[in-house]
């Protein structure tokens, strides 16, 4: 009997410039089986209303290319931990719009940074984040994408840099069956979770499973880290070129418990003449092949 190798769900975050569907075609060009997008300009508050044409073109591209493992990432300005009422309300509204757009596009996961408490304290910040999510989920009813809380680096006053914080926020969410998690390798490393050796990788994944549950891990961001373990500074680097190194990524790529989970690069794109998406994707594929001929 021949064993068919499972094709890993591997891809990158691609630009939507020129149309949302362009990101899917970019994914195809790189042989991706998973893609992440922003559904609007990620650095402004301005919302985007999808036209029927946007939705149709996206659906057609998905059908043609066959990529269904698609996540959207929320805009950077959103902060559900903000003590400023105006910012908080804007954030709730922006997240509602993001969930709605992703639902229209048939995207199953919305990846979201929990928020930053801006000096108001972790406990208060986490209460606000959970309160904001409750408002968003109540507004979006039971349908649509799952909201994934992303592990954060802990830069500044950002929340969600410990698995316990993510668990705490999730517990306060009324409809918490609609919450999942996105693990970012650079962020957890910056937050102090080591994955560079078999032993530390096992410990980190064990902690994740115990505190959050691997069954709720829906997307993985694969980024190497420019800064050291525990730096709490969020700087993504090319796979194998940073402080995590190839071994950590080999452990993830060959962990059968994670085989079905989409793995997305968020590393810098072009630098000089090198097409880094191609290079980083090839590095990851090669790391998997070592143990899966
Ligand atoms: Zn990420």
pLDDT over 70 (residue 292): no
**pLDDT per residue as tens digits for the range 239-290:** 999 999 999 999 999 999 999 999 999 999 977 889 999 999 999 999 996 5
Q: State what percent of residues in the chain have pLDDT above 70.
A: 96
Question: Span 160-171, mean pLDDT?
Answer: 98
Q: What is the pLDDT of residue 287?
A: 95
**pLDDT per residue as tens digits for the range 8-45:** 899 999 999 999 999 999 999 999 999 999 999 999 99
What is the value of pTM for the model shown?
A: 0.95
Torsion of CA 257, 263, 268, 270, to 10 degrees: 120
Query: Ligand 1: distance of its center to the CA of 2 in Å?
Result: 36
Query: Ligand 1: distance of its center to the CA of 73 in Å?
Result: 9
**pLDDT per residue as tens digits for the range 96-117:** 999 999 999 999 999 999 999 9
Query: Ligand 1: distance of its center to the CA of 150 in Å?
Result: 7
pLDDT over 80 (residue 90): yes
Query: Ligand 1: distance of its center to the CA of 275 in Å?
Result: 20
Helix segments in the chain, DSSP class H: 20-29, 52-65, 85-105, 122-139, 163-172, 185-190, 198-211, 246-253, 276-289
pLDDT over 70 (residue 293): no
Q: What is the pLDDT of residue 2?
A: 45
Query: Ligand 1: distance of its center to the CA of 37 in Å?
Result: 12
Query: Ligand 1: distance of its center to the CA of 4 in Å?
Result: 31
Query: Ligand 1: distance of its center to the CA of 174 in Å?
Result: 25
Neighbours of 175 (CB within 10 A): 14
Alpha-carbon distances, residue 23 vs 16, 35, 143, 184, 270 (angstroms):
5, 8, 24, 21, 16
> Three-state SS for 275?
strand
Q: Which fold does the domain 10-289 belong to in CATH? A: TIM Barrel (3.20.20)
Q: What is the pLDDT of residue 5?
A: 54
Q: Residue written as tokens 């949302």?
A: 20
Q: Do residues 11 and 263 lie in contact, with contact meaning Cβ atoms separated by under 8 Å?
A: yes
Q: State what percent of residues in the chain have pLDDT above 90.
A: 92
């Amino acid at each position: 009997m021949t064993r068919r190798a499972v094709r890993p769900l591997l891809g990158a975050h691609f630009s939507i410039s020129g149309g949302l569907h362009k990101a899917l075609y970019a994914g195809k060009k790189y042989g991706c089986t998973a893609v992440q997008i922003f559904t609007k300009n990620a650095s402004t508050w301005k919302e985007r209303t999808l036209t029927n044409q946007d939705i149709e073109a996206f659906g057609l591209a998905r059908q043609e290319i066959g990529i269904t493992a698609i996540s959207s990432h929320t805009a950077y300005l959103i902060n559900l931990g903000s003590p400023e009422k105006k910012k908080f309300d804007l954030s709730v509204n922006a997240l509602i719009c993001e969930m709605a757009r992703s639902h229209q596009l048939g995207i199953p996961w919305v990846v979201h940074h929990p928020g930053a408490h801006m000096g108001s304290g972790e406990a208060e910040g986490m209460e606000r984040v959970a309160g904001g999510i409750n408002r968003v989920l109540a507004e979006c009813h039971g349908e649509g994408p799952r909201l994934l809380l992303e592990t954060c680096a802990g830069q500044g006053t950002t929340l969600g840099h410990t698995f316990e914080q993510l668990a705490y926020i999730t517990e306060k969410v009324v409809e918490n069956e609609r919450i999942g998690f996105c693990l970012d390798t650079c962020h957890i490393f910056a937050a102090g979770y080591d994955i560079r050796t078999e032993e530390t990788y096992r410990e980190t994944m064990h902690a994740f499973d115990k505190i959050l549950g691997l069954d709720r891990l829906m997307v993985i961001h694969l980024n190497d880290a420019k800064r050291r373990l525990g730096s709490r500074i969020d700087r993504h680097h090319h796979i194998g070129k940073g402080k995590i190194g190839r071994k950590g990524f080999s452990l993830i790529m060959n962990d059968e418990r994670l085989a079905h989970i989409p793995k997305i690069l968020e590393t810098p794109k072009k630098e000089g003449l090198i097409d880094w998406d191609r290079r980083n994707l090839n590095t990851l594929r090669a790391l998997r092949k070592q143990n899966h001929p």
